[in-house]
Structure 1
Amino acid sequence: MREFTRELKKVVIKVGSSSITHDHGVINLQKIDELAWELSNLKNHGIDVILVSSGAIAAGAKRLNLEERPRDTVGKQAASAVGQVALMNTYNRAFNEYNYQAAQILVTKHIETDMTMRENSKNTLCQLLSMDVIPIVNENDTISTFEIEFGDNDTLSAVVSRIIDADLLILLSDIDGLYNDDPNKNKDAHLIKEVNEINDELRAMAKGSNSAVGTGGMATKINAATLCMEKDIDVVIANSEDMKIIRKIVGGEEVGTIFKKKSN
Structure 2
Amino acid sequence: MTTERELRRRIGTARRVVVKIGSSAITSFHGGIRRAELDTLADVCQTRMTGGSDVFVVSSGAIGAGMAPLGMTTRPATLSAKQAAASVGQLELARAWGDSFARYDRVVGQVLLTAADIGRRDSAANAQRTLDRLRTLRAVPVINENDTVATNEIRFGDNDRLAALVAHLISADALILLSDVDALYDSDPRKGDATAVTMVGGEGDLDGVVAGAGGALGTGGMASKLAAARLAADAGIPVLLTSAER
Fold shared, TM-score > 0.5 on shorter chain:
yes
Distance in 2 separating the partners of 1:211 and 1:118: 28
- Name 2:107's counterpart in structure 1: 101
8 Å Cα contact 1:198-1:226 kept in structure 2:
no
Q: What per-residue deviation string (whole Å, max 9, x for no partner) do you get for residues 138-186 of structure 1?
A: 011111234572111111100100100101111001001101111223x
Q: Note if 1:72 corresponds to 2:75.
A: no
RMSD: 2.0
Q: Note if 1:116 corresponds to 2:116.
A: no
- Name 2:5's counterpart in structure 1: 2
Distance in 2 separating the partners of 1:210 and 1:81: 24
SS in 1 for 2:196: coil
Q: 1:82 to 1:211 in 2, by over 3 A?
A: closer
Tell me how far 1:203 sits from its aligned partner: 6.9
Distance in 1 separating the partners of 2:208 and 2:119: 28
The TM-score, its normalising length taken from structure 1, stands at 0.84
Unmatched tracts of structure 1, length 5 or more: 246-264
The amino acid that maps onto 1:189 is: A
- Name 2:240's counterpart in structure 1: 236
The amino acid that maps onto 2:91 is: V
Distance in 2 separating the partners of 1:51 and 1:150: 16
The TM-score, its normalising length taken from structure 2, stands at 0.89
- Name 2:63's counterpart in structure 1: 57
- Name 1:225's counterpart in structure 2: 229
Q: What per-residue deviation string (whole Å, max 9, x for no partner) do you get for residues 62-98 of structure 1?
A: 1100232111111111100000111111110110111
Q: Note if 1:134 corresponds to 2:147.
A: no
8 Å Cα contact 1:109-1:146 kept in structure 2:
no
Distance in 2 separating the partners of 1:148 and 1:61: 23
Greater helix fraction, Structure 1 or Structure 2: 2
Unmatched tracts of structure 2, length 5 or more: none
8 Å Cα contact 1:203-1:222 kept in structure 2:
no
- Name 1:197's counterpart in structure 2: 202
SS in 1 for 2:138: coil
- Name 1:81's counterpart in structure 2: 87
SS in 2 for 1:158: helix
